[in-house]
Amino acid sequence: MTSTRTDRTLDDLRACVSGTVFTPNDPDYENARLIFSRHIDRRPAAVVRVADAADVAAAIEHARECGLEIAVRAGGHSGAGFGTIDDGLVIDVRGLDAIEIDVDGRTAWVGAGVTAGRYTHAVGAHGLATGFGDTGSVGVAGITVGGGVGFLSRRFGMTIDHLLAVELVTADGQILHVDADHHPDLFWAVRGGGGGFGVVTRLQFRLHEVPEIVGGMLMLPATAETIARFMELALAAPDELGVIVNVMPAPPMPFFAPEHHGRLVILALMAYAGGPADAEPVLAPFRAVATPLADLLAPMPYSGMFQPGDDSYHPIATSWTGYAQDIDLDDARLIVDTLTERMADPTVQMAAVQLRPLGGAISRVAADATAYAHRQWPVMLNTAAIVSGADALDDQKPWLETLGRSLADGTPGAYLGFVVDADGERIHDIYPGDTYLRLAAVKQAWDPDDVFHHNHTVAPAGA
């Protein structure tokens, strides 16, 4: 493709969309092409900031006619960098930012460009919530098509369990309303099957009454004994309690003594979906595991768990994700020993293990009801490293996987939203057995030419 042809066709694209097209010659191109992981430095041929579903359809048609690969950007948090692409067309849905709340009907329609934090604060003004993850800057569309695991998952289920409908643009430009009665094969696939079936432009969610929680951060010293006990309590806790357990060196936070900075701690983010009277007997055993270094648990609205992030924070990180049956004392010793060793590596700014107790409402949904296929596992785990430069990333992968697989102890599976490798090697971990085959059949029906392949997706059946 010559530069003259490229310029002309991009002018054609500008003429047929209501949104904005950014090319390398435009002053805002550098900002438009960025994703959260800034070390993933790709240069698309163009970025189109779409204004509606019709713009998405036009962008898809343009890309196909010009032989351009497509990437879709919303929150831009894909660890594999799937929100951008060299020499291709990025469809940026951040302009799809409308939120329509039906307070009486307990539902909300939301544009695919809305972040989890903005949505949570908007519906939280009415004492309502939909469970997303734990980071306010992620896009609601991306986290939803991956499954969605967060503080309310044990109480109400995953994000996909609250999804009522989506508006989706297919590879051939159709703008579809997709729900349990309309294109049910697509509706099954987008609930955990990723972004390989079309571009989601709007989503409808069920809302739950969550007028108050008791939540925040609890930090304890990390030893093998405290980690094992903390996880024992978390897995046995009532469904109302959502916990994310981070074992890591203590960051230099101003509210605890400087002598603890850099020491291995349990930094637990906790949210009890209820009031203080009910929360206290549930939280007290956690506080008794060891003398807290910091105890910031307090009554708050659920939206209080989604504080504004630091826009300048873009760590160079990598990780390995999997599942486990439990975390016993031997597992905890391995975590402590491995992280202590890694903390001595000058290229590693942070080494951490994140443990997410699951179960509850997640496990009460049939395994084949959605394309998320790992509902039976009690623990989701992530081993992670933040490094000083991108050239140190590959050196971390062996120990991250070794530690992760040791903790998993044969438990299969991987969570789509946390897989950072773009090579597709873990596709059958994400989508095992019959789930993969069913997704491949849906892919063949709706995207037989594999237009949407710049993500963790299955190949069309028969390909």
CA triple 303-306-309, angle to 5 deg: 150
356 within some domain: yes
Tens digit of each residue's pLDDT (9 = 90 or more) over 171-210: 999 999 999 999 999 999 999 999 999 999 999 999 999 9
Angle between helices 53-66 and 3-16 (to 10 degrees): 160
User: What is the domain-level CATH number for residue 311?
Assistant: 3.40.462.20
273 within some domain: yes
Taking Cα atoms as reference points, which of 96, 90, 124 lies closest to residue 303? Answer: 124
The pLDDT, as a whole number, for residue 6 is 54
164 and 269 share one domain: no
192 and 257 share one domain: no
180 within some domain: yes
42 and 64 share one domain: yes
248 and 388 share one domain: yes
The pLDDT, as a whole number, for residue 450 is 97
241 and 186 share one domain: no
Provide the 8-state DSSP code for 459: P
282: tokens are 């549930």
426 within some domain: no
The pLDDT, as a whole number, for residue 2 is 40
Which residue ranges in the chain fall short of pLDDT 50?
1-4
User: What is the domain-level CATH number for residue 42?
Assistant: 3.30.43.10
Give the CB-side neighbour count of residue 118, counting CA atoms within 13 A.
Answer: 17
225 and 373 share one domain: yes
76 and 170 share one domain: no
78 and 114 share one domain: no
The pLDDT, as a whole number, for residue 8 is 55
* Alpha carbon separation from 93 to 58, 87, 127, 301 (Å, rounded): 13, 19, 28, 29
343 and 403 share one domain: yes
CA distance 195 to 197: 6
267 and 381 share one domain: yes
204 and 217 share one domain: no
**Phi and psi at residue 231, in whole multiples of 5°?**
-70, -35
The pTM of the full predicted model, rounded to 2 decimals, is 0.95
176 and 218 share one domain: no
Domain of residue 187, residue span = 99-209+431-446
Tens digit of each residue's pLDDT (9 = 90 or more) over 303-339: 999 988 788 889 999 999 999 999 999 999 999 999 9
424 within some domain: no
453 within some domain: no
